[in-house]
Amino acid sequence: VNKRKEPKKKSVKKEYTPFPPPQPESQIDKELASGEYFLKASQKKRQKMEAIKAKQAEALTKRQEERNKAFIPPKEKPAVKPKEASTETKIDVAAIKEKVKKAKTKKLGALTAEEVKLKMEADEKKQKRKK
């Protein structure tokens, strides 16, 4: 059984109109409608210059706004206030003092001057005993 393939895009026919579309207005028709056709050459020039200057002024203000955007500071987020320490997380000062004292008594790194003297004396005594 072979079925006839249908096209993916079906063209929709427009309604038939026996009359052609109206012609677009010519430049003279537009001038007659707005009243510019009857103006003098100097008046036409003045109007064109005013339109140009208005466009220039608008473009200038846009450019100034774009330039000034760089100088506008960004909005800052409100500062977060630090939370007060709760009773559970209070620091035990006495315990910290004890830890510091214990750390000072431990031997870390180089020996102190007193310890060096004691060690030297002990070494000398050992050498005397050997002889």
Half-sphere exposure of 30 (CA within 13 A, CB side): 5
pLDDT value of residue 33: 93
pLDDT value of residue 86: 59
- Let me know if residue 7 belongs to a domain: no
- Let me know if residue 58 belongs to a domain: yes
- Let me know if residue 54 belongs to a domain: yes
pLDDT value of residue 18: 92
Radius of gyration of the chain (CA): 49
pTM of the model: 0.37
Give the whole-angstrom CA distance, residue 117 versus residue 124: 11
- Let me know if residue 81 belongs to a domain: no
Q: State which residues of the chain have pLDDT below 70.
A: 1, 84-89, 107-110, 131
pLDDT value of residue 4: 79
pLDDT value of residue 85: 56
Domain range for 54 is 40-74
Give the whole-angstrom CA distance, residue 40 versus residue 17: 43
- Let me know if residue 21 belongs to a domain: no
- Let me know if residue 5 belongs to a domain: no
Give the whole-angstrom CA distance, residue 69 versus residue 1: 71
Amino acid at 83: K
pLDDT value of residue 53: 98
- Let me know if residue 65 belongs to a domain: yes
Give the whole-angstrom CA distance, residue 122 versus residue 131: 15
Give the burial class of 48: count Cβ atoms within 10 A of its Cβ; 0-12 exposed, 13-18 middle, 19 or more buried. Answer: exposed
- Let me know if residue 55 belongs to a domain: yes
Per the structure, the count of domains in the chain is 1
The four Cα atoms 36, 40, 44, 50 give a dihedral, to 10 degrees, of: -110
